[in-house]
Amino acid sequence: MKSLIHIVALSLAVVVFTACEEVLQESPKAVAVETFYNTAGEVEAAVNAAYAQLRAPNNISGQLGAQLEAYTDYSYGRGSYQVLSDFQGLNSTNIPRTDAGWTLFYLTIRNANLVIQNAPKGSSISQADVARYVAEAKFLRAFSYFWLVRNWGGVPIRTEATLNEPNIKRSTAEEVYTLILADLKEAETVLPDKGAQVGRATKWAAKAALAEVYFYRNQYAEARDKANEIIQSKLFSLVPVTVANDFDKVFGPTVVSTTEEIWYLKMTRQAGQGQYLAMFAHHPGSRLHGAGGFFAHYTDAQANSVFKNWDNADLRKGYNWYSWNIGLGANSFLCKKFADPLAPGNDAAGNDFPIYRYADILLLYAEAASRAGNGPTAAALDALNQVHRRAYGQPPTVASAVDFKLADYNATSFANLVIQERGYETQYEAKRWLDLKRLGTAELKARIKAATGKDVADKHLFWPIPVGELNFNTALDPAKDQNPGY
């Protein structure tokens, strides 16, 4: 059974530890700012409050992730998520779901800003602890803004300097990225190699985030170098597998941590404290989720070219998908990557949600190194082959008959190969749509068209700014600041 440190993380927070527990967990409540932030324990609890919204059922590992999984080239949405697979923008059912994500990210930012503002004023805390907790808060703030800017474009920038200002203009995407990079660079410098509990941000999480930010901005040399720092640290490695079900050692509901975990959202089998996205994957009849399942996403073994062309010998295919007729014919498959037959509720699956894992970094390095050098290198190929070998049940660091060969690829074909492998590796992790977006609008549209036959409307590229923000933030002009098409 997964062992957890229970943190009662107040909106500003109080903390309670139970003995012999190992993993970060939060339950929000409330406390007065004036009587808090004086000790290291109080400030740590306040930082924990900034984690809580990221793990919330309506955020990345739940409802918001379900939005993104309806946009992929390998699967389709069903029910209220079906319209999203038409790629024509959000309807009135789905807009409130992205609005909820906006609110949760800004709650994380607000809680992080409170730490950044108040921790230096603490009366009984060392400067070293202040620096560490402020850096952790800045990591969480940067991570939230990175999600905001990719999904909504430029957004209002709220920092510790504007905590009490309700009216903030919409900044450009470039201005948002400037803040993200500054925060992550500080976090990288100050955060420890290893967190006090599993699930806390570390310097390696900050390096992974920096690598991804550079990658998304097509700063390939910087992305390559930052990813390589993680690789050269020798602190991480892929979990070996020999059969498909061995991937439970990576994604299973009882896993506490693995050698490839860099930074995950930690989950446990408690209502509101578990992974919600798993509930969207399964059919109740499969008994792969204790609470049943919404089967809100599926693929088609014949109609979907990504699934159809995927080698059946790749263990990820057999692990990730299972055949289940959901009323659409015998070719329907559902995703089983995050299965928890003992989950006691909809939002209570025990599967941790990967944000940065070593496989991501190896694939990021492979593509970035090739793009930066205008062609694949031996190191880039080896990074790719490690992930590919593991997918076929081979030892990741030992040359194998399944290896790709350097002579077979140029810059373009190698990039396409890595993008394909990233698609296989990160399914149901709410990453594919954003991975395709970074390739540019034309390529994204071409890939979606090829896989699904659907044309992507321009309005589908960004979510609408919430009406509540436009109504109450008087620095915004609804006519000018709303995203196109809404």
The 3-state DSSP composition of the chain as helix, strand, coil percent (nearest 5) reads: 50, 10, 45
Question: Residues 146-162: pLDDT tens digits?
Answer: 999 999 999 999 999 99
Reply yes or no on whether the pLDDT at 331 is more than 90: yes
pLDDT of residue 277: 98
Instruction: Over range 177-195, report the average pLDDT.
Output: 97
286 located within any domain: no
pLDDT of residue 33: 55
Question: What value does the mean pLDDT of the chain take?
Answer: 93
Which range of residues forms the domain containing residue 398? 33-266+352-455
Number of domains in the chain: 1
For position 389, which CATH number holds? Answer: 1.25.40.390
Reply yes or no on whether the pLDDT at 215 is more than 70: yes
pLDDT band at residue 351 under the 50/70/90 scheme:
very high
41 located within any domain: yes
301 located within any domain: no
231 located within any domain: yes
Reply yes or no on whether the pLDDT at 17 is more than 60: no
Minimum mean pLDDT among 31-45, 69-83, 88-102, 334-348: which range?
31-45
Question: Residues 390-404: pLDDT tens digits?
Answer: 999 999 999 999 999
Q: Where are the beta strands (DSSP E) in 138-242?
A: none
238 located within any domain: yes
* Helix locations, 203-287, DSSP H: 203-216, 220-232, 248-251, 277-281
Question: Residues 358-375: pLDDT tens digits?
Answer: 999 999 999 999 999 999
pLDDT of residue 36: 85
Any residues with CB less than 8 A from the CB of 49 and at least 6 apart, and which? Answer: 9, 10, 11, 12, 13, 26, 28, 111
pLDDT of residue 170: 98
pLDDT band at residue 22 under the 50/70/90 scheme:
low
356 located within any domain: yes
Closest CA to 375 of 408, 424, 420, 399: 408
Instruction: Over range 461-471, report the average pLDDT.
Output: 97
334 located within any domain: no
Which residue would you say has higher pLDDT here, 253 or 196?
Answer: 253
Any residues with CB less than 8 A from the CB of 296 and at least 6 apart, and which? Answer: 66, 70, 77, 78, 79, 80, 81, 280, 281
Instruction: Over range 293-308, report the average pLDDT.
Output: 96
Reply yes or no on whether the pLDDT at 329 is more than 50: yes
Instruction: Over range 344-349, report the average pLDDT.
Output: 97
Reply yes or no on whether the pLDDT at 423 is more than 50: yes
340 located within any domain: no
Token pair, residue 136, equals 């952790």
